[in-house]
Amino acid sequence: MLRYFTKLFIVIGGVAISWSQDSGETLERDLRDTREQYGIRLGVDLSRPLRSFLNEDYTGLELIGDLRITQKLYLAAELGNEDFTQTEELGNDLEAPVAEIYNYTTSGSYIKLGVEYNTYENWYGMNNTIFIGGRYAFSTFSQTLNENGIFDSNRYWFPDGLSPGSTAPQEYSGLNASWLEFLFGVKAELFANIYLGASVRLGYLISNKEADNFPNLWIPGFNKVTDGSNFGVGFNYSISYFLPIIKKRKKPSDPDE
């Protein structure tokens, strides 16, 4: 009888040890699989190439990237270049003719650095974001006054417009500007590691170096400068690829996680 119980104990012990090992391996595998991916996401803004295709007076390209550093927080950056030729017009009365004040070209580069905070709680295996964030941006550029008109209160000789001014291009270089941006946007995974994003931005100009006799009417990365206001608006649509680097396990005890 004792020998029977001894054999039964050995069998049960063996099964228990085997089950424990299997359960441990399964648990370890589950914990490993539930670790979240951290890495860098690189892409391009789609709106600028599309605008370049549709508008012959504009060329632009913006590269984007973000790096996940915590469960919710990302470091982010944009680097771009824009070239835009525009005509400023005088006259908004439907009965009065529109007169061209000047035609100018702005060309330059910019960089934006900041953070994004994800407000969206993902399901397991997802890495989508609905984020708010901020940027500090800096742009260096030049402006070329291609041609301009001259306003004369005596409209006898030019009743339908401004008198012609210089048609020789005048370049103003060494210009720069800096601003702060507040943004709201989304990034959603379309396919494995491929993300489509969109954001709207509100900028506030904090510095603006201008030429002595020609204002900065448009700044690369900031867009149109409004007379009497430091605010500007912008947007972007992006496609990016996520490159995983490491995996981290979520810590339930950490309220920030």
Among residues 72, 69, 73, 78, the alpha carbon closest in space to that of 109 is found at 78
Residue 251 belongs to a domain: no
Q: What is the CA radius of gyration of the chain?
A: 30
Same-domain check for residues 44 and 112: yes
Identify whether residues 94 and 179 lie together within a single domain: yes
90 and 10, same structural domain? Answer: no
Cα 184 to Cα 161: distance, rounded to the nearest angstrom? 43
At 169 the pLDDT is 77
Model pLDDT for residues 145-162, shown as the tens digit of each residue: 887 655 555 554 555 555
Domain span at residue 91 reads 36-243
> What is the total count of domains within the chain?
2
pLDDT at residue number 71: 87
**Domain presence at residue 255:** no
- Statement to judge: residues 203 and 171 lie in one domain: yes
Q: Whose structure tokens read 């996520």?
A: 242
Amino acid 31: pLDDT: 47
Q: What is the pLDDT of residue 214?
A: 87
Are residue 31 and residue 56 in the same domain, yes or no?
A: no
42 touches 63 (CB < 8 A)? yes
211 found inside a domain? yes
Distance CA 182, CA 67 (A): 18
Same-domain check for residues 73 and 160: yes
Query: Are the beta carbons of 240 and 189 closer than 8 angstroms?
Result: no
Q: pLDDT tens string for the chain (257 positions)?
A: 445 434 443 444 444 434 434 444 444 444 445 678 899 999 999 999 999 999 999 999 999 999 999 989 999 999 999 999 998 766 555 455 556 677 899 999 999 999 999 999 887 777 899 999 999 999 999 999 887 655 555 554 555 555 555 567 789 999 999 999 999 999 999 999 999 999 999 999 999 999 988 899 999 999 999 888 899 999 999 999 999 988 777 655 444 54
The CA distances from residue 189 to 73, 130, 176, 238, in Å, are: 18, 12, 36, 12
Task: Please give the model's pTM, rounded to 2 decimal places.
Answer: 0.76
**Virtual torsion, Cα 120, 122, 126, 128, nearest 10 deg:** 0
The string of DSSP letters for 156-220 reads SS-TTSPEE---S-EEEEEEEEEEEEEEEEEEEEEETTEEEEEEEEEEEEEEEE-BTTB---EET
C-alpha span between 241 and 191 (Å, rounded): 10
